[in-house]
Amino acid sequence: MAVLEIKGLRKKFGGVMAVAGVDLEVQEGTIHSIIGPNGAGKSTLFNLISGYYPSDGGQVFFKGKDITGLSPQEIVKMGMGRSFQVTEIFPKLTVFANIHATILYHRGEGLRLFKNAGRLFREETEEILSMVGLIDKAAETSGTLAAGDRKRLEFGIVLATKPDLLLLDEPTCGMSPAETSETIDLIQEIAAEKALSVLFTEHKMDMVFCIASSITVLNFGTIIAAGKPEDIRANEKVQQIYFGEDQCSLK
């Protein structure tokens, strides 16, 4: 079953066609990657899928339902979680509070004005912190974390909304090779443990070919190629766009 289906999605900015009719399918429980050079339209595509931008045409189906034109809040509620290229967290709150606040909202406690927040959902918060490996840093101010830990925290926030599909926009952007491979391991672990589907964009080819079970290649807002990693690797058009390294830096 396709957890995400995109048909003919289009978006124009001024005179530029940022996304020019994209079709895409993500199968349930798989890790799908979108690759393409800078300016190919990857982030725009994510913003369209997650409801951050309105589209100029086309449709997006999530778990079989048409979500075109819905607000980000509504889409999140349906089970799509999103991380950003520039990690978005709540900097002045503690690591614990970042996850805690998310869980509180997600469980519908957001409008409770007179309950003590501190006592609610502590175990769930700690569980997620353990899963992303931040339990030791729970009391630290999240703004002071290193890049890799910030990304973990962001994953934690996304996980707290109990998503079925993860949209990860360049999850290893700006990370060192060590941080990158840690993050990739984390994504695989989380996806496996929670039986999630993942759609992510990336630049680093080695990472993509290691964990993705299917790949879409985007350039100038259109799909150049789509399919299994071996097919993409062999595809001439893709090789023309850039020569990807296919070393597997993981187990």
CA separation for the pair 206, 78 (Å, rounded): 32
Residues that bind another protein (CB under 8 A): 50, 72-73, 76-77, 81-82, 84, 88-93, 96-97, 100-102, 104-106, 109-118, 120, 122, 126, 135-136, 138-139, 157, 160-161
Supply the minimum distance, in Å, between the C-beta of residue 22 and another protein: 22
Using only C-alpha atoms, what is the Rg of the chain?
18
At closest approach, how far in Å is the CB of 79 from another protein? 11
Nearer of residues 61 and 90 to another protein, judged by Cβ = 90
> CB of 6: closest distance to another protein in angstroms?
19
Give the β-pairing of 197-202 and 16-27. unpaired
β-pair partners for 73: none
DSSP state of 58: E
> Beta strands 214-219 and 31-35: pairing type?
parallel
- Residue 38 vs 73, nearer CB to another protein: 73
Work out how close the CB of 96 gets to another protein at its nearest, in angstroms, rounded to a whole number: 6
Indicate the residue among 84 and 209 with the shorter CB distance to another protein.
84
Q: How far is the CB of 108 from another protein (least distance, A)?
A: 9
By the 10 Å C-beta count (0-12 exposed, 13-18 middle, 19+ buried), 232 is classed as buried
Identity of the residue, 97 or 184, whose beta carbon is nearer to another protein in the bound complex: 97
Q: Which is nearer to another protein, 13 or 66 (CB)?
A: 13
The residues, ordered by sequence, that sit 6+ positions from 140 with a Cβ below 8 Å of its Cβ are: 94, 95
Q: How far is the CB of 51 from another protein (least distance, A)?
A: 9
Sheet arrangement for strand 197-202: 80-83, 165-169, 197-202, 31-35, 214-219, 222-227
Nearest by Cα to 28 from 1, 60, 67: 1
Choose between 1 and 139: whose C-beta lies nearer to another protein: 139
Within 10 angstroms of residue 139's Cβ, the number of other Cβ atoms is 9
Tokens 């199968």 -> residue = 27
User: What's the closest the beta carbon of residue 112 comes to another protein, in angstroms?
Assistant: 5
Nearer to another protein, 50 or 172 (CB): 50
Q: How many residues does the chain have?
A: 251
